[in-house]
Structures are given as C-alpha cells and as structure tokens.
Amino acid sequence: MQEDFIPFQNIGLCFSGGGYRATFFSLGVVSYYDKIHYLGKPLLENVEAISTVSGGTLFGVAFAKASQQENFNFQEFFTQFYNDFKPTYDMLLSTAIEKLGNDKVWKENPHKKRSLINAFALTYADMEIYKGSFDMFLDKEKLKNLKYVCFNSTEFSFGLAFRFQNCGLFGNKPLSSKHLNDLEGQLQLGDIVASSSCFPLGFEPLTFPDDYIKNQQTTAYKSVKSLERFADGVGIMDGGIADNQGIGSMINISEARKRDDELKKELDLIVVNDVGSFKMNPWQPEAKAKNESASIKSTISKIMSFVKIKPLYIIVLVVGILLMVLNSMEIVKGKSWTALYILGGIITGIGLLLTVLGLLATVAKGFGIRSIKSLFTKNVPPPLVDDVLSFGKLSIGLVQRMLTERISSTVIMVNDIFLKQVRRLNYKLLYSNSELRHKVITATVYELNGEKTAYSKSFSYNRNIKPAPSTILKNVGLTASETPTTLWWDETDIQKDRMDTLIACGQFTSCYKLMDYILKLKKNKKIKLSEEQTTAIDALYDALLEDWKAFNENPLFYVETLKKA
C-alpha cells in the first residue's frame, strides 16, 4: 500500500475535447460531483485540479473562474452556464460570424488578425462567464479548492502541447522563458478558450503573442517579440492534436504535487472524462467513372482559346466605324441618317468592348501563366516536374477522383486516425503505471449506451452493480454519444434534446463509474483501508446506489432538478 493514498481526498478531473458533446458531458460530471457527498461535504470540494481540452475547455475555463469567487454556489453557476448555451439563447456561432464581417470590431481590436477563430475569441470575451484574465489563477494563496488549472492547446513551431497552466512551465519547454511568464497573467480567458477549441479544418491557428496582447507597446510584449522563436509569431491551435484527454498535463500536476515541499504527495484520484469515440466513419473510395472525360490540357486549351483578341472583334469595330463615316458622307440618297448613326455607334461599341476585353484578357492570361510558372518552379522539386506535368494528359474525372481521395483520406487521418492513436498512447501512459492503477477512473460518454465496442462482442458493464442499466438509461446514453463534434446546436440536436441528455449522461456515468471504482478498490489486495475509510466509502457507495436506482428510472431526474432550482 502507498501510505500517502487517501481515497477521494485530492481529485483531478480531465475533460476531453469534442465540441459541445464534451462541454455538456463535463457539466454533467461536475454537477454530479457537487451532488454526491463524501464525509459530510460535496465531493466537488475535493477536486483540486482540472486539465481541459477543446470543448472541455469551454466548460473548464468558466467553471475554474466561477469556483474562485467568494461564496461560490454551483447551482447558480449551473443556471448561468446552462442559460448561456441552451439552444434558444445560444448565439455563439451567429455572433462570431457577425463580428467577422463587422469592420468596426477589427478597428477596435487592431492587434488581432481578422479570422474566424479571432471572431470566436472576441465573442467569448464578451460573455460574462469568460470575462477576465489568467491572472486570477496565478496567486496560489488566494485560490480556493481548485488550485491547479491547465487549459491545453498545441503549438505549431515544435508540434508540442502548449499549456495555459498555473503549475509547471507555462507553454512548453522549448518556448518557455522568463519574458513569456511576464505575459501569462495578461492573457484573456476568451483567447485561451479559443486557443484550446480551434479544431483543424474548422478554424485557423491563433498567433502568439500577437493575437493575445492588445497593448503591444508594453515592455513584456516587446521582450517576447524580441525572442527569435516568437519574432514571427507562434501558431496556437486545438489542444486535442497533442493530447485530447489532457492526461499528460494531469500527470504533470500530480507529479508536481509530489515534488512540492509542503504537499509531498500525488493526487489520490485522476478521473478522465472522455467523449472521444473509439468509432470512426470508414474511408470510402470515390466511384470510378465509366467514361473518361476530356483531358485537363485539352480543356484548358479550349478555354484559353477564348481569352485573346480575335479578328472578328476588329472586323466588328471597323464595320461600325465605317458605317458612321459613310453615313456622314451622305452617300445614301444624298443625306445622313440618324438611324445609321445609332446602328453604327452600337456596332462600334460592341467591337470596341470586345477588343478591349480581349486585350485585357490577353494581358491577364500572360500574367497568370507567368505567376503559375513561377509558383510551379518554386514549389515543385525538379525530380517531380515531369510527373506533375504528366497530369495534364489525364482526364478531368480521374484527377478529380485522385484529389478527392487524397483530401478525404487526409481529413480522416487528421481528425480520426491520428487522434485515436494519440488517445491510445496517452491511455497507455496512464494505465501502464502500476502506481496509478488504483488512482484512475475513466468515464466515457459511450460507456452506458448499450452498444458493443470495437473490443467487445456485446454491451459490457459491471454485473456486480444492480440494477443493470435500464433501456431508457441506455437510450439517453446513445443519444448523447451520437452528438456530433460541433460548437453549435443544429435542428437534430434540438429535436433530440441533446443538451440535457449530455448533462444527464455525464451525471449517471459518473455515478456508475464511482461505484465501479469503489468495488475494485475494495477488492485490491494491495490497498489496505482503515476502518474509518471503509465506513466512509461504504456510506458513499450506498448514496451512489440510491442515485443509480433513480437514474435508471429517470436518467434526467437530476437535470430537471437543477433546471427547476
């Protein structure tokens, strides 16, 4: 037994990425930790650390900020957060798009590059739950129960996690410096939320420190910009790229506690709340075209044949001018005719317009060809020139299929295969450590949805927990787990009431996983619990069991309670 291990005393919560699916599953988890009591107080009061990613950061930043307030009341926080995001009031996407097109917004924020993710950052900054700076987490003497926060993102200079944290290095080791630490407290929470949640393909990276510091005349900003690694800015993007569950950051926090001269012990429990699915939509090849279309080269040549001055244009111009000249010489019945002037003018105008357009198109064509050649020369390695040029002989349909398959497979690789592989590696890091096995809970959004996983032949759950998950509970879990990874609610989400089902899923999954953990803890022969600890854990299990029974009858009962309060 590890003598410093005290069940449920110091808890760290990880909240994964996954858009609103992660945000509201996380809200459900924390709401249940506030509900369930251990040794006379909410278990939430023993939560000492959080590590969040992407959609989990949307919840985590707001919760971390609120928890530092005097007389923090979770019910009040729940009501405010819920109301800000429920479909009838959620204006996040529409507000961000409106800001993107508003010139005034960018004149008032000249430090920010005009982009969708910066529009989201400014939208977050306007929301009461995200107002403020990271400075509120830096004075450890003033911090309440939640002492360690880490909001994860990824930097695009070294390809490492970039951590907005108050424990350990701010940023990461290659980018760390005392000048960077001077900027840490100035960072706005809205920008941190945007940094962690700007997922690839949907958004572009933010640039650090340029997009983050409004007053760029300060010594701190200029000192950072003077560093070679920050001179051109560092791209900051979605935290899920490097670690979508925030596991690595939480392990760092736990190890930092052990090194602390006063604490000298790791966290007693790490709970990974994960909405990343083991499933993925399989890649589908493009259908092979039955008939080959014209080649790219012939199609471009045909189009280019119209982009030049043609003899016909000159002839039309000459005819129009000649008609007006002859009419002015009164050769038709000895007088000039108004109608002929009008007709000649129209023909002349048409000829002149076609000639000018042809001339401009010819100039543009020449410029375009030179630009493409220059771009081609700079970016195509010499050994590949012949291979690339050979594409011109291929049919348009074939090239379209080749490009589509490359793009679709790359998207799946980035958004599914790569993230799932990183997920496996991080879980291996967590569970391969024998010293942590009795200190870890993994709660997934699909845990109780009634579906078999890729690793089991049927729906699997702890048979020692009674009653078994009910049909209605599994249906709510399935609805929650099928929520897409977005930062908005669509019609299907509203119809299926996914906001409430996600919160409920976080609640009843937490209840179930805490019971599962207690049963395994009591069976662990390496862990010797005192009589007092055993009594407290048994009381906790009884309370969890009562809630579990209630969740099986009505999975949304506690969501409804919180909404009515």
User: pLDDT digit string (tens) for 433-443?
Assistant: 888 889 999 99
Residue 295 has pLDDT above 60, yes or no: no
C-beta separation of 328 from 336 below 8 A: yes
pLDDT band at 396 (very low <50, low <70, confident <90, very high): low
In whole angstroms, give the CA distance from residue 13 to residue 312: 76
In whole angstroms, give the CA distance from residue 25 to residue 509: 9
pLDDT score for 108: 96
**Higher pLDDT pick, 244 / 100:** 100
Segment 183-203 mean pLDDT: 91
Segment 340-353 mean pLDDT: 79
pLDDT band at 218 (very low <50, low <70, confident <90, very high): very high
Q: Decide: helix, strand or coil at residue 232.
A: coil
pLDDT score for 246: 92
pLDDT > 90: what percent of the chain? 59
Segment 31-36 mean pLDDT: 98
Closest CA to 8 of 551, 542, 521, 466: 521
Q: Tell whether pTM > 0.85.
A: no
Residue 85 has pLDDT above 60, yes or no: yes
Residue 217 has pLDDT above 60, yes or no: yes
In whole angstroms, give the CA distance from residue 503 to residue 476: 10
Query: What's the pLDDT tens digit per position in 11-29?
Result: 999 999 999 999 999 999 9
pLDDT score for 302: 60
**Alpha helices in 329-470, H assignment, sequence order:** 338-379, 385-389, 396-412, 418-431
pLDDT score for 462: 94
Q: Specify whether the backbone of 485 is left (phi greater than 0), alpha (psi in -120 to 50) or beta.
A: beta
pLDDT score for 371: 67
**Higher pLDDT pick, 308 / 542:** 542
Neighbour count for residue 101 (Cβ, 10 Å): 10
pLDDT score for 141: 85
**Higher pLDDT pick, 96 / 366:** 96
Q: What pairs with residue 151 in β-bridges?
A: 52, 164
pLDDT score for 1: 41
Segment 485-493 mean pLDDT: 91
In whole angstroms, give the CA distance from residue 183 to residue 195: 16
Segment 421-425 mean pLDDT: 77
In whole angstroms, give the CA distance from residue 16 to residue 53: 5
Neighbour count for residue 51 (Cβ, 10 Å): 33
Of the ranges 323-337, 376-390, 543-557, the best mean pLDDT one: 543-557
